[in-house]
Amino acid sequence: MATVLVPKETRDGETRVAASPDSVKRFVKAGLTVKVERGAGESARVSDGAYEAAGAVIVDADSWFEADLVVKVAPPTLEEAAKLKDGGRVLSIVIPAYEKPLIEYYRDHSITCYAMDLIPRISRAQSMDVLSSQATVSGYKAVLLAASQLEKFCPLLMTAAGTVPPAKCVVFGAGVAGLQAIATAKRLGCKVEATDIRLAAKEQIESLGAKFIDVPGMEDMEDEHGYAKEVTPEFLEQQRIEVAKRVAEADIVITTALVPGRPAPKLVSEEMVKSMPAGAVIVDLAAEAGGNCALTESGEVVARHDVTIIGTTNLPATMPVHASELYAKNVLNLVNLMIDEGNLVDKLEDECLDGCLLTHEGEVKHDRAKALFETEGAQS
């Protein structure tokens, strides 16, 4: 019978947990032994007792070496990785471009790593897509942060004292985070316009009641995996010119343009910030990668030119209850593919498992991660 360990997250600011009582119950029903580190769910409002009631065994922090699979949210630190048994398995978000030393450790110790951020964008894998589930949280929270800082009402109000016009909101990017931001802003009563480099996004934006901002020379910029492609500086300039007109009138701007592991494109210049109404708010969901706004400070809330710019990172961790529940379901659906009569089997013929396989049997398997080491070798 294979053992799954759910450790307590240790990275600064990480409040989520990789398993819920429901996912633990399902693992146990499938024949796995589930161990949960004491206090692992505390920040996500899940007690040790709730895990025990679901069939888990509560353990101390020194149980990594006994596990056949360690499931986490954030990637382990190198000190934590050293607790894994050689040839063991770990599953977490990784973002390979930020974790080269960790990937090297996995490779050198024959650790099999499944990276939740590398789940292939195919229909069958939608229930495992962590980037989408967590982006839903980010898009929702971004609008709430903006509304809490805004010195105006969001909706149209008709009162005995007069009519209050709706706040104007511009959303950059209509991926999962952007669409959730659009939907949330509309629910709050904002007048919403949005832009995206993918033509397919136009219909999605308009279906939510927002207006799509057309950019001259636009073409479909979506790759075969469903991700936005990296665009040319020329297109970004055209986009800036067109969108700048809307930004100059916007009370709220939400930016979501981010390709994991790459610097965020600069979509909102200092001049655009200067053009905004006094008291306006920008929430930059790409802050951890340098920001879509030229004045964003990662992890900070700053005021520039009478505009509040929110660069808070890891927004899902600010809503750990539902963010954890969604993440746990993603993990459950992926791990279920490995379960075989109470054991865990690396079924690499499965396109979902193979698609997110980062390291295995002493090799870096994923093409995106391989490229990092090939580039380093070429430069040396």
- Annotated catalytic residue, options 11, 22, 110, 121: 121
Active site residue 275: no
Structure tokens that stand for 177 in this block: 């985070």
Q: Which of 227, 238, 298, 350 is catalytic?
A: 227
In sequence order, the 6+-apart residues with CB closer than 8 A to the CB of 108 are 362
CA angle 27, 75, 146 (to 5 degrees): 100
Interatomic CA distance for residues 257 and 268, integer angstroms: 11
User: Which tokens go with 208?
Assistant: 């939510």
| Catalytic residue list contains 132 | yes
Residue with tokens 């990480």: 14
Pair 53, 71: CB distance under 8 Å: no
Q: What is the 3-state secondary structure (H, E, C) of 187-201?
A: HCCCEEEEECCCCCH
Say if CB 279 and CB 152 are below 8 A apart: yes
Which residue among 23, 132, 138, 204 is the active-site one? 132
Catalytic-residue membership of 204: no
Return the SS3 of 179: helix
Pick the catalytic residue: 129, 196, 251, 284? 129
Whether residue 88 contacts residue 67, with contact meaning beta carbons closer than 8 Å, is answered with: yes
Among 323, 356, 285, CA closest to 128 = 356
Residue holding tokens 């067109």? Answer: 242
Report the alpha-carbon angle 64-339-16, nearest 5.
50
Q: Is 121 a catalytic residue?
A: yes
Which of 43, 110, 126, 238 does the annotation list as catalytic?
126
Active-site annotation holds for 117: no
113 beta partners: 90, 359
Rounded to 5 degrees, what are φ and ψ at 288? Answer: -65, -20
Q: Please provide residue 169's backbone torsions phi and psi, each rounded to the nearest 5 degrees.
A: -125, 130
User: Rounded to whole angstroms, how far apart are CA atoms 226 and 224?
Assistant: 6
Pairing of strands 3-6, 343-344: unpaired
Q: Which residues are catalytic?
A: 121, 126, 129, 132, 227
